[in-house]
Structure formats: C-alpha cells, structure tokens
C-alpha cells in the first residue's frame, strides 16, 4: 500500500499561496485562539486587546491574500502574451473539459439532426 503524502489532506496549495501568507495565517489563528481563550474567562482584562490584535492580523492576512491573487492574475495575463500554449492554455482547456456536451443540446436534437443530415433534394 502506498504511503500517504505529507501535508494536510494531501491537497496541493492554491496558485497564489506563498510563505508570507502561511506565516500570516499561522499568526492570525494563534491570535484567534488567544482571543477565544480570553472570552472563556469572564472578567479577563485583556479581551479588548486580544480582539484588536486578532482583527488586525485577520485584516493583514486578507490584504496579503488579495495582493497575492491580483499579482498571480497579472502574471498569468502576462504569460498569455509570452507563451499562449503553456499554462494559460491548459487552465482554459481544463475548464472547458468539465462541461457536459449533452447538456447544451437538450431539446434541440431535431434541429441538430436536420443540420447534420439535410434532406436530399427532390428529383423529378
């Protein structure tokens, strides 16, 4: 039996993911746990401070993700001009491949048959 690949659930990371975003996510999750821990203790003096730090970390993570996505999109658009048959082509073809061709033609079978097999011209 093959060994399981390391990593969370064996999934590949998304195209815009980088080490900076991973570190920001780790930090935000740690601050969230700390904030939730403070919420569980009534009268804890650091609740507001923990909430503010968690909100700031979450905002920084969101901004970093948005920036990384827009940069990745710009890189992909630039790659289309340089290598149209490379990665951009494969991405588009993968999206087109998942469609069900029969779904587009439901209810139009007679029209398709008539256009593919026209009636023979009448001979007198």
pLDDT in tens, 31-57: 999 999 998 888 878 899 999 999 999
**Which among 79, 98, 95 is positioned nearest to 87, based on CA atoms?**
79
| Mean pLDDT, all residues of the chain | 85
- Work out how many domains the chain is built from and give that number: 1
Range of the structural domain that residue 92 is part of:
19-99
Per-residue confidence (pLDDT) for residue 8, from 0 to 100:
60
Average pLDDT value for residue range 80-96: 83
Q: 24 lies in a domain? A: yes
pLDDT band at 91 (very low <50, low <70, confident <90, very high): confident
Q: 87 lies in a domain? A: yes
pTM exceeds 0.75: no
């Amino acid at each position: 039996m093959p060994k399981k690949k390391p990593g969370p659930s064996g999934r590949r990371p998304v195209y815009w993911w980088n080490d900076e975003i991973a570190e920001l996510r780790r930090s935000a999750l740690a601050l969230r746990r700390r904030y939730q821990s403070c919420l569980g203790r009534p009268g804890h003096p650091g609740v507001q401070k923990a909430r503010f730090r968690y909100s700031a970390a979450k905002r920084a993570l969101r901004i970093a993700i948005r920036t990384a996505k827009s940069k990745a999109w710009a890189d992909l658009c630039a790659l289309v001009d340089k290598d149209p048959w490379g990665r951009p082509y494969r991405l588009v073809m993968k999206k087109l491949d998942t469609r069900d061709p029969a779904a587009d033609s439901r209810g139009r079978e007679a029209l398709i048959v008539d256009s593919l097999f026209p009636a023979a011209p009448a001979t007198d």
